[in-house]
Amino acid sequence: MYMFCNGAIVKESEARISPFDHGFLYGLGVFETFRLYDGHPFLLDDHLDRLNAALKELNISGNVDREEITGILDKLILANGYDNARIRLNVSAGNSPMGLQTSPFNNPNMLVFMSPISMEDILLEKKAVLLKTPRNTPETGVRLKSHHFLNNIAAKREISDQPGTEGIFLTENGFIAEGIISNIFWVSNGTIYTPDLSTGILNGITRQWIIEYAYHIGLRCEEGFFTPADLKRADELFYTNSIQEIVSVYSIDSGSRFQGKSGPVTRKLYEGYQRFKKQISSRNELHTYGEIL
């Protein structure tokens, strides 16, 4: 398998970065994961906008632009032979002496990983459990998609390796937050609900797409502070991320049951996702399809 490492396409076994990278020493790094569909990087512009905002927050110099990344992706597609793939774009602070640096990091390390993934247009159905591990609070004003993943790892250990199960974090105050690797949505009486960003959740790219697409097709979506009781009264429940797309949920805590993959709102959103995943680079492009949505 080939990857990109600081300007070169190399075999994964040959990639090298310094142990003095502050991404390794102090967790100063961020990443994005997204998918290629027949070579098209879905919502790439939205991912880069979030990445660049995070780099600014971490005082890491530079701006990752679309032309640079698409050029790297073209080379990786050629080297690996995959045009349906999972991509991880990782930028860390770069090399510096040990110690807590306050000045800008001017030479970040950039890595791009590629792995093959099948393109099955199937709405999956899984179950969910409420976690005992609480969601920690963000290190900065908003949650970054950063190297700080111990909270997620602790939650994953709590439910062990169950591919058909997603854990749902609660905040320390008992409000619904997000999944271990996902954002959470549910539907009650035709209205879509999802936790507000001020609960400390990641503003997922697929989350943003769902909210925008729902608006364009006339579905009401409310963000706020909700309890497990609100969640368990729902008709439909689903979670989202950029790799698994939209996944329906049929039960939570082996008790409350939902409509799962037969849920009409979940299915409508899923079908919209399938329609656009090979076409657009930003959720903002949806307005150009206004008359036919």
Q: Could you identify the residue written with the tokens 């640096």?
A: 101
At 204, give phi and psi (nearest 5°).
-60, 145
Question: So what's the pLDDT on residue 254?
Answer: 80
Residues 227 and 83 both lie in one domain: no
Residues 71 and 176 both lie in one domain: no
Residues 201 and 79 both lie in one domain: no
**Per-residue pLDDT tens digits for 14-42:** 999 999 999 999 999 999 999 999 999 99
In single-letter form, the type of residue at position 255 comes to: G
pTM: 0.96
Q: pLDDT under 50 in the chain at which residues? A: none
End-of-domain residue from the set 116, 136, 154 = 116
Question: So what's the pLDDT on residue 162?
Answer: 85
Residues 181 and 222 both lie in one domain: yes
- CATH number of the domain to which 73 belongs: 3.30.470.10
What tokens appear for 173 in the block?
């105050």
Residues 76 and 200 both lie in one domain: no
Residues 107 and 131 both lie in one domain: no
Residues 97 and 6 both lie in one domain: yes
**Per-residue pLDDT tens digits for 110-152:** 999 999 998 788 999 999 999 999 999 999 999 999 999 999 9
Residues 73 and 205 both lie in one domain: no
Q: Which domain holds residue 266?
A: 124-292
Question: So what's the pLDDT on residue 292?
Answer: 59
Answer whether 216's CB lies under 8 Å from 209's CB.
no
Any idea of the CA torsion for 149, 150, 154, 157, to the nearest 10 degrees? 70
